Chain A
Amino acid sequence: MKNGLRCLVVVLMAVMVISGGAFAAEKTLINGIDANYPPYSFIDKTGKPDGLDVMAVNWIAKEMGFKVKHQPTEWAAIIPSLKAKKIDFIASGMSVTPERKEQVNFTVSYYQTVMVLVAKDISALTVDQAINGNLKWGVQRGTSEAKWIEDNLLKKGKAFKLQQYDSAPLAMEDILNGRIDVAAVSTTSAEEFMLKGMAIRIIGKYGQPDDETAYAVRKEDTELYNKLNDGLKKLMATPYWQELKHQYGLR
């Protein structure tokens, strides 16, 4: 076992030596995004990152004088990625939760996310039926809503089944496919889906308190924290912020 580990490390070192040159370039800060989370962050037609958070961070980077790159990252692994320094911060519609606060620092909140249940547009389900019935719920894995639903509904004895998805759009697909009855998403996402012509409707809030949305930074990285925090405050004081929100369908 010990030999295997040493072998691993040797191989690693060899690769580092070989590819070492590639890392000598100027330091660009990396924003980890969920590229499947429109309108906050997604990939546009030309294959480039786009979205409210992407544009906002670009503005902040210019204002505060740093280079930034938006790196699509698997959402369920995004905080480990941050802590492993694979990315430098997360600006991707992330909700502030007590658990996350233990892991990372959050900037000021720039948006209040209202969580709702959606169902097929022809569905007559009410929130009460959804919570107390024997139905199937969908939610994106690793999100604040997934955690809240487990802690506050399932562990309190509700009977519905919770199906976890890699992304919110996949949960939407399964609503249309009839594999789940309802899904918990932010109003922002829900409106985005409806705007794209998906046959869904919002049936109402299911009790989760409104989420604050903020950027996440490594705890020890105070310099970057200050830059992002100050930049974000500046941005929100400009008319451009209102434009951005309007452009991406946020109120």
Chain B
Amino acid sequence: MPSPTPVLAVENITKTYGIRTILDGVSLSINRGEIKVLIGPSGAGKSTLLQSINFLIQPDSGTVALEGQTINPHDKKALCAYRQQVGMIFQDFNLFDHLTALGNVEIGLIRVKHMIKNEARDRAVTELERVGLKQHTAHYPAQLSGGQKQRVSIARALAMEPKVMLLDEPTSALDPELIGEVHSVISKLGEAGMTMMLATHQIGFARHLAHEMIFMENGRIVEQGPPDVILDGAARQRTREFCSRISGAGEKR
């Protein structure tokens, strides 16, 4: 059976700031319905990789293809069209502070998808319900807890009907007691078949969610494979060390 065209294929991405190499020729791809989790020490380049994939950070070289179509980041129109199809979740939420939860979800629908207002509103309410925030549609970001903010940002991304979601440490800015609600939303997304690439330090959660884990260090992919293999029997010393250091590697399923 020929392998299907990946939803997203990243080829040989590099990024340097001055003399520091952040990404050193990273390649990976993800198929429909797959969930890949990036792990690795801080500064390994996970966040830069995710942001390079939708060109929020301009990589120095390398290509990104969505469903086989290579993206030209200098073609502004094509870039905007591409970004609509790639949902992005940030570590610190980046909700639009001047808009309510509803406004945050609506704005992309109205301004980017040019949906009429009523439709956009209905759609936004549906998405907020989906992340359990029906009662909070009229609240401003400053009136929401961190977990609620992150769920709004997930609803905002979902409303655009992305083909793939990139989640950049979605819970690392949250108090421990708020992490669960966000994890459960992400888990549900996974169960519903959303294609996702997630960077996290929550190894237990990653083990439970991931189809494949990717261990990054110093801007490179060091090792990748099924969670059990990476977490319990990693071939490389560095990966093993990292996994045992971080949250006791998490319990087996």
> In the complex, A touching B, CB below 8 Å?
no
Which residues of A line the B interface, CB within 8 A? none
